[in-house]
Copies of this chain bind each other. A is one copy, B any other.
Amino acid sequence: MDATIALDAMGGDHGPQVVVPAALRMLKKHPELKLILVGDSAQIASFIGNQDAPVQQRLSVHHASQVVAMNESPAKALRLKKDSSMRVAINLVKSGDAQACVSAGNTGALMATARFVLKTLPHIDRPAICTALPTKTGHTHMLDLGANVDSTAEHLLQFSVMGSVLTEAVDNLPNPRVGLLNIGEEDMKGNEQVKKAALLLEEAAINYIGFVEGDDIFKGTVDVIVCDGFVGNVALKTSEGVAQMITHYVKQAFKRNLLTKIAALFALPVIKTLRRQIDPRRYNGASLLGLQGIVIKSHGGADELAFTYAISEAIREVEKSVPTQISHQLDAILGN
C-alpha cells in the first residue's frame, strides 16, 4: 500500500495532539504508507519528536496558517479560510499530491470545502456522509448521515448506488443488500420521497431488498441502509444516546453496594470484551461520498486510536479507488 494521505492535523477537538501520534502509529503499522500532516508546522513538529528514519522518510509536514473552528459556518470557512489546514489537505487531493484526506474538523465546513475544491462526480447532485455501524453479526453501512435534508427520490437512488459500491469495495462483499429506511415494511407506508425512491431502486442494478425499519439497522440483515440526511443523523445520534444511557445504567448498577461491587470485579473481563466489541472508536471514519476524491471525516472528539481507524478507512478507499468505482456504477445505472 503506497498511498499518500493528507491529514488535517489541526482539526477536531484535540488537533495535532491526537492526529500526530495517530499518524506515527499508522506509519509504523503500514510500511508503505505515506502521510502528509497539514497545519501549523511548529506545533506539528513538537508532537513528532525524534522518529526512526523509516518513519521519518514517509512523513512530511505541509504548513497551513489557518484553522477552521469547530463551530464556524461553512460559508465563512469557505470564504475566509483559504489557507486552513482543512482546505490545504483537500487541495493536496485535488492536485494529486495525496490520494485521500482525513479531517476531524467541522463537518459542514469539510463538506462545503470538499465539494467546492474537488467537485461532485457526474450524476451526483449532492454528496452524502456514510459510515459503518455495528450489528449483531458484524457491521452495516448507512447514508446519508446529515449532509442533506429533504432528499428527493433521485437523491436516495444516488445514495444507494454510492453506498452499495463503497460496501462492496471496502468489505469485499459482492452485491451488498441495500434497504431503504422507512417507518413500516408495507408498501403503503412512508413519505412520498421514500415510496418513489422504492420504485427507482427496484429498477436499478443494485441488490435492493426493500424497506427496512430503525431496528433492522443493527440486526445484520441489511448491508447498506439508505435514508435522508435528517433522518439518518437523528438515527445515528439516537443510537449513540441509547448506548450512553445503557452504559450509565450498567455503571450505576455495579456501583450500588458492596455486593454489586464484588460482582463487578467478576464481570470486569466480560465487560471489557464487550466494550471492545462495540467500541465506537472502531467505527470512526465517515466517508464523504460522491466527490471526485476521497475525503474521510473523523469524529471531532476522536482520540488517537479512533483517528487511526479513520486513516484505515482512507487507506481502504484508496486501495479500491472508490470514487472511480462509484463513477462507473453511476454511469451504468444512470446513463451516460
Contact = CB atoms under 8 A, between A and B. Distances in A.
Nearest to A213: B237
Contact of A259 (B73, B249, B269): B269
Given A245-B134, A253-B277, A277-B253, A217 B191 contact: no
A300 interface: no
B218 A244 contact: yes
Contacts of A263: 266-267, 269-270
A20 B120 CA distance: 60
Interface string A199-212: 00000000000000
Contacts of A241: 214-219, 239
Contact of A253 (B237, B256, B274): B274
A273 B256 contact: yes
A240 B215 contact: yes
Nearest to A219: B241
Interface stretch (A37-45, A57-65, A79-87, A180-188): A180-188
A229 interface: yes
Interface in A114-133: none
Given A191-B150, A263-B267, A136 B238 contact: no
A190 B267 contact: no
A234 B248 CA distance: 23
Chain A contact patch, size range:
35 or more
A233 interface: yes
Contact of A274 (B233, B237, B250, B262): B250
Interface in A126-159: 134-136, 146, 149-150
Contacts of A32: none
Copies per assembly: 2
Nearest to A243: B242
Interface in A258-299: 259-260, 262-264, 266-267, 269-271, 273-274, 277-278
B214 A234 contact: yes
A2 interface: no
A305 interface: no
B235 A234 contact: yes
A136 B71 CA distance: 27
A231 interface: yes
A233 B214 contact: yes
Contact of A149 (B134, B190, B237): B190
A236 interface: yes
A53 interface: no
Contacts of A229: 183
Question: Which 10 A-B pairs give the minimum distances between C-beta atoms?
Answer: A214-B237, A215-B241, A214-B238, A266-B266, A218-B245, A149-B191, A183-B233, A267-B267, A218-B241, A242-B242
